[in-house]
Amino acid sequence: MAKLNMPPPHGGELVYRVIEKREYAESMAAGAIEFDLKATTDPNGVPIRHVYREIISVCYGFFSPVEGSMTQNELERVLEERRLENGWVFPYPILLDVSDDDLKALDVKEGDRLLLKLKGQPFAVMDVEEIYKIDPKDVATRTFGTPEKNPEVVRQPFDEKHPGWMIYRCMNPNVIAGKWTIINPPKFREPYDRFWLPPAECRAVIKHVKKWRTCIAHQTRNVPHTGHEMLMKCAAYTGDIEPCHGILVNAIIGAKRKGDYPNEAILEGHEAVNKYGYIKPSRHMVTFTLWDMRYGNPIESLLHGIIRQNMGCTHHMFGRDHAAVGEYYDKYATQILWSEGIPSFGFEAPPNEVDKGLKIIPQNMAEFWYCPVCGEIAYSENCGHVKQKQKFSGSFLRGMVAEGVMPPKVVMRPEVYKAIVKWWKVFGYPFVNNKYLENLNKELEIDLAPMEIPKA
Amino acid sequence: MVHYIGVILDESRLAKIKGTPLEEKIQDLFGGQLKMLVVEVPEEKSQEILKAFDRARIDSRGFIEDLPVAFKRALFEEIAKAKSLDVIDKVLERLPEIQEAAKKESEYIPPPEIE
Ligand SMILES: [Zn+2]
């Protein structure tokens, strides 16, 4: 096997649409029509998505080659064949949606420039390319598929109980399409700032600081237990002539649900894995991407592949039930996509074997459990003690944590548990509760510096 | 179908059942690093429990998880009092009181005393 090297960004070039210099930023925004960005809320008024996270991920190149809110033709092509208009693979609609009232008040037309504001401050600009109507329910259903149209992997029709389907279902019926440019770079709050490593910088760190030739990505939205740790270690044995040099943990940070672990504990819990030597920091690094998780299993795995390829990874590990909730998709949908393709979603072959597809290499992994006979955390394809196996259950662990019992170190590293307790003391609660949600929805992960825009 | 509720035993709980017939029923998990008692819950009673606590669910092992701490605490109290695992009816009699306590813990749980 030939030695591997860092793949190029998806689409060939990293998108970077961020203006740091104040004078240029101000001149870009001067005279633009102002619009305050708002959260997408469910019928109970609970925020389930905020488009600023997509704007940040697009402008810093996580979603390269996407550059902004999609036009109608592009949206159609993404929904029909998971391709952008330029032919590159992309799984999800990326849209700036506005309500009828807001559109009327804005009085905006094609060719106008919008100044998008967040937390009362200028944040980004966009030149309006197109304004069109969508049927949010139709977009939601076509985004995730149906048992009839996608019989390979869709097992149940999507409905109100699926949080990703609800994100599209609850969008406003008007889309403003156009490229985004950030003119007031966000300042991430503690502890997010320590883990903020946008693709261009992440590539440079991998190449010149860590000096990893190969690197495998680990998707997370959880505090790691030793099952996750073993998955990372074992998946990293793949590589080329030697195991992968590095493991890049990339947490998806976005809208939260009650009962989740707080973002802060997730990031610092993963950090504890390298800080305390379970996987040396020279081999393990923790980062995050802003995105309101859509729980689209195989569809989500495409976005994960794109993000981590853009960040400079050669490989990506995919487990069972990847980015899944409920039983809408086959348990192995992601692994089916990356091993054979899913024709009904536009993949006659795996996404890394199609034209204008991804260059990142999948590593499909089965399960890990504790085996008292083997006396170790065992890989399901090795361990034959099926009767004695003790599965890791996230909810069992959560129960232990809530009861104030320190999980045994064979299940969770004590330093990872201490990261949970550290933030428990800050929030008065080990998991996301109403107060945490209220605060996150108000403060977001970022602050924006005050900025005066000269009148045109 | 029978479901299960696992009651984790830390040092203080182990001390409270020392010398009782319950000791024989303790199950070892993760190579003995975790001790647990497993209470069997018949179908109709597990339905009652799921109805009483909206976050509770049955996981892939057939265990009822995401129960309020107040429920788990009451369950252990009844086990220790009766020196038996056959206490689910006793716990269900205390449902209103447990639900009241559970309401409070949906917003605040005191953090453990570790450095
Ligand atoms: Zn075994």
Give the residue-averaged pLDDT of A161-190: 98
Strand partners, A215: A246
Q: Which of A389, A403, A420, A435 to mutate to test the interface with B (most CBs of B within 10 A)?
A: A403
Assign domain A192-440 one CATH number from 3.30.360.10, 3.30.70.1150, 3.10.180.10, 3.40.50.620.
Answer: 3.40.50.620
Mean pLDDT for all residues in chain A? 96
Q: What local confidence, expressed as pLDDT, does residue B105 receive?
A: 86
Q: Which two tokens stand for residue A405?
A: 């019992």
Q: Rounded to the nearest whole angstrom, what is the distance from the C-alpha of residue A81 to the centroid of ligand 1?
A: 43
CATH 3.10.400.10, chain A: domain bounds: 22-134+171-184
- pLDDT of B14-66, one tens digit each? 999 999 999 999 999 888 889 999 999 999 999 999 999 988 888 878 899 88
- Residue A38's SS3 state is coil
Predicted confidence (pLDDT) at residue A42 exceeds the cutoff of 80: yes
Say if residue B114's pLDDT is above 80: no
pLDDT recorded at residue B11:
83
Domain ranges for chain B, please list them.
Answer: 3-105
Whether the predicted pLDDT of A286 surpasses 90? yes
CB contact under 8 A, B111 and A434: no
Q: Please, what is the Cα angle at A64 between A344 and A347, to 5 degrees?
A: 15
Determine the Cα–Cα distance for residues A304 and A323; give it in Å rounded to an integer.
10
pTM: 0.94
Q: Are the beta carbons of B67 and A406 separated by less than 8 Å?
A: no
The pLDDT assigned to A456 comes to 59
Name the pLDDT band for A232 (thresholds 50, 70, 90): very high
In this prediction, residue A235 carries a pLDDT of 96
pLDDT in tens, A300-335: 999 999 999 999 999 999 998 899 998 999 999 999
> Would you list the DSSP string of B1-13?
--EEEEEEE-HHH
The pLDDT of residue B115 is 64
If residue A116 lies in a helix (H) or strand (E), which one and from where to where?
strand A113-118
B50 contact residues in A (CB cutoff 8 A): none
* Fold category of A22-134+171-184 in CATH: Sulfate adenylyltransferase (3.10.400)
CB contact (8 A) between residue B65 and residue A375 = no
Contact residues, chain A to chain B, C-beta under 8 Å:
258-259, 370, 372, 375, 390-391, 393, 395-396, 398-400, 402-411, 418, 421, 424-425, 428-430, 433-435
At B12 the pLDDT is 85
Contacts of A406 in chain B (CB under 8 A): 112, 114
Contacts of A376 (CB under 8 A, 6+ apart): A370
Choice among A61-70, A165-174, B12-21 with the minimum mean pLDDT: B12-21
